[in-house]
Amino acid sequence: MNGPILQQLEPRLLLSIPGDVNVPGDVTGNGFVDDADIAVLIANWEQDPEVISNWGLGDLTGDTDVDGSDLNALLGNWTGGPGYYRSPGTDQDLPDPIARDPYANYSHLPLWVDGAQYDDAVQGIIGDCWLAAAVSSLAQASPEMLEESIIDLGDGTYGVRFYDWYTQEEIWYRVDADLPQVNGTPTYASITPDGELWVALLEKAFIQYRGYDSYSRLDGGYMGGAYAALTGEGYDTIVTSTMTNDDMGVYIEQSLAAGHAVSVGSDGLPGQVVVNPILGAHAYAVHSIEEVDDEWFVTVYNPRGDDSVVWDDNFEDGLLRLSMDVFQQAFVVVCTSRA
């Protein structure tokens, strides 16, 4: 088999290649579509991809040949994620992370309605504001990228794309729509205002990506790690005390204008107000910035989904308009995605 075709068979890339899903790709009969099936197909494929063998094994489409149509059939059923390769018709109840509350299935809800919006990201009971703030800022800066990173596999499960920390290659993970809940309300990331699943599924898949076994492991983190995982690009961190108000205003304005996602983090104790209206040890997404009469004002989004502290006349929108003085006092770091 020549190099280009072997390259296509790189497992971490398989889910991103469309295929014919009419025929299951479980060649070996082990209940999974995995590397063993790839190996059988390759073994029955002659060196020249234009010359095909007539062996039965690997003939997924039933045309008596082992060729590109069989490869497409196998790729179409490859479901991504270490240990989670399942062929259609097998048990779709995938392993779930350890959670505080019992699971319920939400597959009746749509994955997408109107695309990624900044206020779709609302954290639940754990302190993964860093992830929610990164997702919110990316939803504003690069909604199409997030929309391409989560796909419906059509069998009650979903593929979620992240990027390898070291190689920046795509890695796809497969999750179902089982979510921890209390009285129908998800315990962790919320269903979006439009009734979409995407944020909750991304959070669940992120647990797999990190190699964790529990939602609680997401408690505490940094926005830059989320940016790298979601975009495959790096990030920049600026300590607010190293910049003047004007320099910070120009930096944020230019970053947002260039299409970069920007988020910020505060110091202090969780749940306590460090500088009104900003909570301590909390991450926010930078929503917008404007200069009025030579003074900068930054609007940030609180991924708790509301203001958390009474500040303006709309407590429910999570948006807080801050003078640059308040911004510089409240936040210790500004994190910007390079994507």
Q: List pLDDT tens digits, range 43-99.
A: 554 433 443 333 344 555 566 666 556 555 555 444 333 333 333 333 456 789 999
Q: Structurally, how many domains does the chain consist of?
A: 3
Q: Which residues contact 77 (CB under 8 A, 6 or more apart)?
A: 19, 21, 24, 25, 26, 33, 87, 88
- Which run of H or of E encompasses 82? none
- Same domain, yes or no: 177 and 251: no
Which domain, by its residues, includes 14? 3-77
DSSP 117-163: -GGG----SSS-HHHHHHHHHHHHH-HHHHHHTEEE-SSSEEEEEEE
Q: Identify the burial level of 72 via C-beta atoms within 10 angstroms of its C-beta, where 0-12 means exposed, 13-18 middle and 19 or more buried.
A: buried
Is 94 a member of any domain?
no
**Bridging pattern class, strands 157-163 and 185-186:** unpaired
- Same domain, yes or no: 239 and 210: no
Compute the distance between CA of residue 89 and CA of residue 140 in angstroms, rounded to an integer. Answer: 38
For the chain, percent of residues with pLDDT exceeding 70: 73
- Same domain, yes or no: 242 and 210: no
Is 37 a member of any domain?
yes
Q: Which of 16, 43, 77 is the last residue of a domain?
A: 77
- What confidence tens digit (pLDDT) does each residue in 174-215 have? 999 999 999 999 999 999 999 999 999 999 999 999 999 999
Handedness of CA 92, 97, 102, 106 (dihedral sign): negative
In terms of pTM, does the model score above 0.85? no
Mean pLDDT of 16-22: 29
- Same domain, yes or no: 141 and 158: yes
- Same domain, yes or no: 191 and 108: yes
Q: What is the pLDDT of residue 254?
A: 98
Q: What is the pLDDT of residue 144?
A: 97
Q: Which residues share a beta bridge with 323?
A: 297
- Same domain, yes or no: 115 and 64: no
